[in-house]
Amino acid sequence: MTTDAVCNETRPQQPAAKANGIQLTDGAINKVKEILTQQTPQPAGLRISVVGGGCSGFSYQMNFDDGAKMMDQTYDFGGLKVFVDAASLLYLEGCSVDYIETLEGAGFKFNNPNVKSTCGCGSSFSA
């Protein structure tokens, strides 16, 4: 699973699990676990990162990974392992990730207090 997610300026409606400034809502945790169980072979967990690119400078990336790498921070959200590299962690402090389903579509949404601006399409941000 590779997902380029967009920043969402609304607060998550579900209670969020917290780990050193990064939050995943119950909806996000459950959806990732659901997708994770469908993978063969099953990865060790989810990697969340901030990468350069997009019209505003940075974008979020989510993909499955086989384990932590050197300099990663590993979090446990109800049995879901989440890996975040040290550079991305600087941009993700205080960020919450939610999974929403609406008539317009479904996907992971980031609410990041570090964002200064987003692009018009909502797929990238500047910090």
Q: The domain that contains 122 carries what CATH number?
A: 2.60.300.12
**For residue 95, pLDDT beyond 70:** yes
Task: Name the token pair of 30.
Answer: 């459950």
pLDDT 10s digits, 36-81: 999 999 999 999 998 887 666 788 899 999 999 999 999 999 999 9
**For residue 83, pLDDT beyond 80:** yes
Domain that holds residue 23: 2-126
In the numeric block, the tokens 């990162």 are attached to 49
Q: What percent of the chain has pLDDT over 90?
A: 52
User: Per the structure, how many domains does the chain have?
Assistant: 1
Instruction: Please give the model's pTM, rounded to 2 decimal places.
Output: 0.77
